[in-house]
A and B are shown apart, each in its own frame.
Chain A
Amino acid sequence: MTPDLWHALVGGLLIGAGAATLLLFNGKIAGISGILDNVVHALIGPQAWRLAFLLGLVAPAAILGLGQITIGASLPVLGLAGILVGWGTRTGSGCTSGHGVCGIANFSPRSGLATATFMISAILVVFLVRHVLTAWHS
């Protein structure tokens, strides 16, 4: 067989594997027209505003670029930090935007207290990492 035909065959195997995976683990048919139609429906349904907001949120950075960014933490620390941020914001019902901006703008003592709480714990952690733990090492 020519390389061209091998590519055709292997590509077909991958497509079949994709269809089988969706069937075996999701119980769903990998029909792209149907999936696309449903996604577009979700885009114009009553839940669409969330996706629209997120698209808009990343658009400026995606178009203009992020500029100079420094992520100082190591990969394991970032993974752990992400988990804590994910768990903490769901459990505490909000983050810097929901409590810190919207809640305080709404004169909500509840959000004010939440904001003070995460600010203080973040400041304490930064103090520990930058000024206590480094002192041990040196």
Chain B
Amino acid sequence: MAFLSALLAGVLFGAGLLLSRMCDPARVLAFLDVAGAWNPALAFTMAGAILVAGPAFYWVRTRGRNALGVATELPDRFKVTKRLLVGSAVFGVGWGLSGICPGPSLLLLTGGSLPSWIFATGILAGFFAAGRPAARKLTAKFAPSDG
């Protein structure tokens, strides 16, 4: 059941990325390029996603259980740390340079192109770096978790 529902969730999410064309880096960059030929499509995609997911999150958060009755605790909603802001800002730099975020990067891999593999390899290197002692020291300096 857990496998099937997660598979279905992934199919819906992936079909949404494909249908909205948010898997196309050029389209994402057209949204981020507010001073150029701005394309608002990404905002519509996000709004549509939040419109549907919002009631589901509200329902699960208020009853503390998911649809199957399993106790479900959602992430903290209020804690803002320097780490959160520095990480997000750095993510934005990479996103702005490429027009690719993690979900679409996986879709792009299905095309098998060299650029998609280079980007995905970079993501893995970044994950790895975020967990390395040296990088953790750097992280602690510029983005301490205690905010």
Q: Which residues of A contact B (CB under 8 A)?
A: 43-44, 46, 48-50, 52-62, 64, 66-73, 75, 77-97, 99-111, 113-115, 117-127, 129-131
Q: Are B101 and A85 in contact (CB under 8 A)?
A: yes
The CA-CA distance from A64 to B19 in the complex, in Å, is: 11
Known A86-B123, A122-B96, A123-B34; judge A64-B18 contact (CB<8 A). yes
Known A87-B129, A88-B89, A117-B88; judge A102-B57 contact (CB<8 A). yes
- Min CB distance A117 to B, Å, is 4
The CA-CA distance from A79 to B123 in the complex, in Å, is: 8
- Min CB distance A60 to B, Å, is 4
**11 intermolecular pairs with C-beta atoms under 8 Å apart:** A54-B10, A57-B106, A60-B14, A86-B129, A87-B130, A95-B101, A105-B53, A108-B75, A118-B89, A118-B95, A121-B92
Q: Are A78 and B93 in contact (CB under 8 A)?
A: no
- Chain B residues positioned under 8 Å from A91 (CB to CB): 83, 86-87, 90, 130, 139, 143
Q: Are A56 and B102 in contact (CB under 8 A)?
A: no
Q: How many A-B residue pairs have CB under 8 A?
A: 335
Secondary structure call for the A interface: helix
The CA-CA distance from A64 to B6 in the complex, in Å, is: 20
Task: Say yes or no for B109: interface residue by CB 8 A criterion.
Answer: yes
- Min CB distance A7 to B, Å, is 27
Q: Are B18 and A110 in contact (CB under 8 A)?
A: no
Q: Which B residues between 60 and 107 are near A, CB-CB below 8 angstroms? A: 61, 74-80, 83-103, 105-107
- Min CB distance A15 to B, Å, is 26
Q: A86-B126, A121-B90 are in contact. List 16 more A-B contacts (CB 8 A).
A: A44-B3, A50-B6, A60-B11, A61-B111, A70-B26, A75-B118, A82-B98, A82-B105, A86-B94, A89-B126, A91-B90, A94-B88, A106-B54, A108-B77, A117-B92, A130-B36
Which one, A82, A102, A129, A131, contacts B122 given CB within 8 A? A82
Task: With CB as the reference atom, state the residue of chain A lying closest to B5.
Answer: A49
Q: Are B98 and A92 in contact (CB under 8 A)?
A: no
Task: Say yes or no for B134: interface residue by CB 8 A criterion.
Answer: no
- Min CB distance A48 to B, Å, is 5
Q: Are B119 and A48 in contact (CB under 8 A)?
A: no
The CA-CA distance from A82 to B94 in the complex, in Å, is: 6
Q: Are A71 and B92 in contact (CB under 8 A)?
A: no
Task: Say yes or no for B120: interface residue by CB 8 A criterion.
Answer: yes
Q: Are A125 and B89 in contact (CB under 8 A)?
A: no
- Min CB distance A97 to B, Å, is 5
Known A77-B97, A122-B92; judge A69-B87 contact (CB<8 A). no
Q: Are A66 and B107 in contact (CB under 8 A)?
A: yes
